[in-house]
Structure 1
Amino acid sequence: MRRVAVTGLGTVAPGGIGVKEYWELLTSGRSATRTISFFDPSPFRSRVAAECDFDPVAAGLTPQEIRRLDRAAQFAVVSAREALADSGLDVARLAPDRIGTSIGSAVGCTTSLEREYVVVSDGGRTWNVDHRYAVPELYRHFVPNTMAAEVAWVAGAEGPAAVISTGCTSGLDAVGHAVELIREGSVDVMMAGATEAPISPITSACFDAIHATTPHNDEPERACRPFDRSRGGLVLGEGAAVMVLEEWESARRRGAHIYAEIAGFAARCNAYHMTGLKPDGREMAEAIDAALQEARLPPDSIGYVNAHGSGTKMNDRHETGAFKRSLGDHAYAVPISSIKSMIGHSLGAIGALEVVACALAIEHGVLPPTANLHEPDPELDLDYIPLTARRQQADVVLSVGSGFGGFQSAMLLTGPEVRS
């Protein structure tokens, strides 16, 4: 089986555009959540979100790109350019059909679709919408695969291209799909990651309807509280992360800087309930077990767990149960944290942002904390790193994701020398 190296990173995230700013936010323990500024949030139950301070001109996009691309696609393109530059890969020297693209997204170009519907329906007053008022780019916003196409153009990638949409596990699953394409020999390089810009009235209404988002509006920076006794739901976020993944030996031959190896990946579905989770965490535990088996690593080799940690009571119980079920006694010894406490839950993008955080944790020997964890829920009795980053080397890192519909995914990253 061919091995897969992570050689380039790019991010757009709340609290900072670019990998350096992103990592500084995570290790500072600061929360980037605030009262929603994109629209009037007063009609909604949850009025906070983790927004990106994103200036497309400052990020290097042309006026034509800004006009053509939805906000989520802009995030993806900017992240892909950073990742490609970071990798040092000269794509002009590669066969274009040996480069592929895998981008995850749960809700696609929601922001542009909602904005344009308001225009063509005259604010919702006209049942028969008037297409004459639609922007020429409306079809691009309607079909999510255009985001994968835009990233492919960044790298001149003519190999397989796909958008993976599995809800909140889309980011992990998109990277997992990319890994499998390299392993099977279909490609040598993948532009892999996820993007999301869901902070809009329709998204807020959807989450309000199921009471999944937090009602803690008075202190926005403290609204997301994974594993805390007072947690009340997730905080919406936005952002993107794109990575350059390469076949291990070719990355070594060209002298690439390797952040980490993606050693194992697995996904499961509980076939149980759209939003409900069983507290024993069996399906997530099975995904973890399968990822460990693929990586040929024992449970006690894991030095850090990047938890899904959405801040809902059901999820926190579910994954605590999954860690105990899969890792046994080691679950009580391994450090765990949730970066959603700082950057919110960017739906399909969050899994890719978390993989980047895991690669940086391996690179720097620092484990991000869980912000706002002041009063741990006694029912959640594992080492959920509170408030302050922990300087500790972890050469094997587990990242997990859980999505509505019962999707459960697990990915293992290892340091460059662990399996050499």
Structure 2
Amino acid sequence: MSRRVVVTGLGAVAPGGTNLKQYWDLLSSGRTATRPITAFDPSPYRSRIAAECDFDPVEAGLSPQEARRMDRATQFAVAAAREAIAGSGLDLPGTDGERLAVSLGCAVGCTTSMEREYVVLSDGGRSWLVDPEYAVPHLYDWFVPSSAAAEVAHTVGAQGPVALISDGCTSGLDAVGHGAELIREGSADVVVAGGTDAPISPITLACFDAIKATSPRNDDAAHASRPFDATRNGLVLGEGGAVLVLEELEHARRRGAHVYAEVAGFGSRSNAYHMTGLRPDGVEMAEAVRVALDEARIAPEGVDYVNAHGSSTKQNDRHETAAFKRSLGDHAYRVPVSSIKSMIGHSLGAIGALELVACALAMEYGVVPPTANLHVADPECDLDYVPLTAREQRVDTVLSVGSGFGGFQSAVVLARPDRRTA
């Protein structure tokens, strides 16, 4: 009999809410956290807006030494992990460290710190040859993205498998999928899993400008991210981190833990097609959804809510709509679908984990978060996208999907444990 995996703790550092309560308050109210960039002067760039986290590492409980050592993305992950562990009620000193694992997703690594140090070492880009004597000692950790996973492992005392999953915008979803598999196969009893990214930096902004993937709606930052809206013109970058405590079901029951949901299914596929392009028929995402539902032993009609990738680009939203119709059939027209990127932007490797936390809270509170800024219906996107206002309804099963550059497509199914038989 396969070991079952449940979620017993949640933590989040997000735009508009640097803890779990603030994050859910933002989502359930339909407010947006997208705004003009304040982290640096964005005036030279085409898109000058983002969803930033008002995050103070010391206020979040990190020591000044930890804050100096860790890149911003790592700080998000550690803060979210601490909140998730505290909320789970897990007794870390009483937990076997060899049965405790970490699976963290991240797309662009320690970009913020590396770019800052390069500017210093190269004298603002004027020197090709740099003097390493000017480098901070932590620069060499920042070159290795797995340093973020190592810091989380150190924080929680994990001596089991520790992994950094980096496959673009599906990294957060895939890290949770990998973490669940570690428990199912018997390699761990508890996994601290999630995603983190801090991509709001000049180099990342320039890269997205080059391919015109980001919205140039700089005069209306609060309403720039418009998934599934006919007037959408690109994504809005975000940042943040989210962590879920995954636990073997019987392990959780023995200690009387509160269970948010079961990680019932996971599927991942690639389109082997184009680095940034998507086929309009959505076949590869539909296949990832089929695999996840099959693993969960849940029929398409059993899905109560779909948390969409909903990046607010023309091709993604069309591709995703087609994928839902292909994988869910007629039920695609009846099930509520929404994109929280309309409120917190697209935080690349973190967003999948942030979305899963939102899904678990939607199940907990019986509220489907809305798609903000959806005013003008797109005839090609003709599903129920929960426009503008959250919707109260019982949610027993959630499908959350992600789509990433490189052709990555992933799907996770969360369900109430009593909805599935062993």
Counterpart CA distance in 2 for 1:101 and 1:262 is 16
Task: Specify the alignment match of 2:97 in structure 1.
Answer: 96
Q: Which amino acid aligns with 1:129?
A: V
Task: Specify the alignment match of 1:143 in structure 2.
Answer: 144
Counterpart CA distance in 2 for 1:416 and 1:215 is 44
Q: How does 1:32-51 map to 2 (within 5 A)?
A: 32-51=33-52
Question: How far does the alpha carbon of each residue in 1:14-41 deviate from its partner, in whole angstroms, 9 at most, with x for none?
Answer: 0011110000000010100000001111
Q: Report deviation, 1:415.
A: 1.7
Q: Report deviation, 1:132.
A: 1.1
Kept in 1, the 8 Å contact 2:9–2:85? The answer is: yes
Q: Report deviation, 1:298.
A: 0.4
Q: Report deviation, 1:419.
A: 1.9
**SS of equivalent to 1:305:** strand
Kept in 1, the 8 Å contact 2:104–2:193? The answer is: yes
Task: Specify the alignment match of 1:414 in structure 2.
Answer: 415
**SS of equivalent to 1:237:** coil
Kept in 2, the 8 Å contact 1:225–1:341? The answer is: yes
Question: How far does the alpha carbon of each residue in 1:235-292 deviate from its partner, in whole angstroms, 9 at most, with x for none?
Answer: 0000000111000011011100000000000100000000110011000000000001
Task: Specify the alignment match of 1:324 in structure 2.
Answer: 325
Q: Report deviation, 1:140.
A: 1.1
For structure 1, list consecutive stretches of 5 or more residues without a partner in the other structure: none
Q: How does 1:364-383 map to 2 (within 5 A)?
A: 364-383=365-384
**SS of equivalent to 2:50:** strand
Task: Specify the alignment match of 1:15 in structure 2.
Answer: 16
Counterpart CA distance in 2 for 1:10 and 1:125 is 42
Counterpart CA distance in 1 for 2:208 and 2:307 is 24
Task: Specify the alignment match of 2:71 in structure 1.
Answer: 70
**SS of equivalent to 1:218:** helix
Task: Specify the alignment match of 1:28 in structure 2.
Answer: 29
Q: Which amino acid aligns with 1:60?
A: G
Kept in 2, the 8 Å contact 1:277–1:314? The answer is: yes
Task: Specify the alignment match of 2:187 in structure 1.
Answer: 186
Question: How far does the alpha carbon of each residue in 1:329-350 deviate from its partner, in whole angstroms, 9 at most, with x for none?
Answer: 0000000000000000000000
- Residue 242 (structure 2) pairs with residue 248 (structure 1): no
**SS of equivalent to 1:236:** coil
Kept in 2, the 8 Å contact 1:207–1:213? The answer is: yes
Q: Which amino acid aligns with 2:380?
A: E
Kept in 2, the 8 Å contact 1:259–1:416? The answer is: no
Question: How far does the alpha carbon of each residue in 1:169-189 deviate from its partner, in whole angstroms, 9 at most, with x for none?
Answer: 000000000000000000000
Kept in 2, the 8 Å contact 1:28–1:388? The answer is: yes
Kept in 1, the 8 Å contact 2:297–2:420? The answer is: no
Q: Report deviation, 1:84.
A: 0.4
Task: Specify the alignment match of 1:362 in structure 2.
Answer: 363
Task: Specify the alignment match of 2:231 in structure 1.
Answer: 230
Q: Report deviation, 1:417.
A: 2.4
Counterpart CA distance in 1 for 2:294 and 2:283 is 16
Q: Which amino acid aligns with 1:28?
A: S
Kept in 2, the 8 Å contact 1:223–1:235? The answer is: yes
Counterpart CA distance in 2 for 1:20 and 1:404 is 31
Question: How far does the alpha carbon of each residue in 1:8-63 deviate from its partner, in whole angstroms, 9 at most, with x for none?
Answer: 00000000111100000000101000000011111111010000000111111101
Kept in 2, the 8 Å contact 1:2–1:183? The answer is: yes
Task: Specify the alignment match of 1:304 in structure 2.
Answer: 305
Counterpart CA distance in 2 for 1:157 and 1:56 is 22
Task: Specify the alignment match of 1:268 in structure 2.
Answer: 269
Task: Specify the alignment match of 1:353 in structure 2.
Answer: 354
Q: Report deviation, 1:416.
A: 3.5
Counterpart CA distance in 1 for 2:254 and 2:159 is 23
- Given the two structures, how large is their TM-score scaled by the length of structure 2? 0.99
Q: Which amino acid aligns with 1:408?
A: Q
Q: Which amino acid aligns with 2:352?
A: G
Counterpart CA distance in 2 for 1:57 and 1:187 is 32
Counterpart CA distance in 2 for 1:96 and 1:338 is 37
Question: Percent identical across equivalent pairs?
Answer: 72
Task: Specify the alignment match of 1:84 in structure 2.
Answer: 85
For structure 2, list consecutive stretches of 5 or more residues without a partner in the other structure: none
Structure 1's consecutive aligned runs of 4 or more residues displaced over 6 angstroms after TM superposition are: none
Q: Which amino acid aligns with 1:352?
A: A
Q: Which amino acid aligns with 1:44?
A: Y
**SS of equivalent to 2:243:** strand
Q: Report deviation, 1:387.
A: 0.3
Q: Which amino acid aligns with 1:231?
A: R
Q: Report deviation, 1:93.
A: 1.5
Q: What RMSD in Å do the two structures reach over aligned CA positions?
A: 0.6
Task: Specify the alignment match of 2:131 in structure 1.
Answer: 130
Q: How does 1:199-214 map to 2 (within 5 A)?
A: 199-214=200-215
Question: How far does the alpha carbon of each residue in 1:64-116 deviate from its partner, in whole angstroms, 9 at most, with x for none?
Answer: 10110000000011000000000000122221110000000000000000000
Q: Which amino acid aligns with 1:152?
A: A
Task: Specify the alignment match of 1:220 in structure 2.
Answer: 221
Higher mean alpha-carbon deviation, 364-373 vs 128-137, is at 128-137
Counterpart CA distance in 1 for 2:191 and 2:352 is 17
Q: Which amino acid aligns with 2:169?
A: C
Counterpart CA distance in 2 for 1:116 and 1:363 is 43
